[in-house]
Amino acid sequence: MACAVAALALVICFLTLPIVAVFTSTNPGDLISSLDQPAVRDALWLSLRTTLAALLITTTFPLVYLTWSSVNRIDLAMPWNSGFAGTESYAKMLEDPRFWNSLRLTLVYTASTVVLQATKIELYSAPCQRSVRKKS
């Protein structure tokens, strides 16, 4: 868990710090023209590549391992019994009504939290946008 939090913190830093630096050092009207400068473009591409690498390491590799381990039997007490377990458990899961109820609840929770977070961000950022517009 601590590793995931640290990786998320790195992703946030690598993604937001160059953007904040660009916005604080330039006038918002000059932002597009500043992308013509090679140093700004290189910094943004470096940030993007680093962020994508961190996301790949922290999400894709664990998902691949999870998929592999879900179809293999891993017995640490008797390793000679380890091997391919098959996909019968997935077929049973699709027939179980508890799975579909859990999936429905997960989708409702995810959709509602995304909408609420987006609304909260818009409400909190509106005063900041007004103050920036007044200054320029």
pLDDT (tens digit, 9 = 90+) per residue, 78-123? Answer: 777 778 878 888 888 999 999 999 999 999 999 999 999 888 888 8
Q: pTM score, two decimals?
A: 0.45
Give the pLDDT score at 15: 61
Overall average pLDDT of the 28-52 stretch: 74
Helices then strands, each counted (H, E), the chain: 6, 2
> What average pLDDT does the chain have?
77
Q: Which of 9-18, 28-37, 59-68 has the highest mean pLDDT?
A: 59-68
Q: How many CB atoms sit inside 10 A of residue 75's CB?
A: 10
**Which has the closest alpha carbon to 15: 41, 40, 49, 63?**
49
Terminal CA-CA length for the chain: 44
Cβ proximity of 50 and 14 under 8 Å: yes
Please count the CA atoms within 13 angstroms of the CA of 124 that sit on its side-chain side: 6
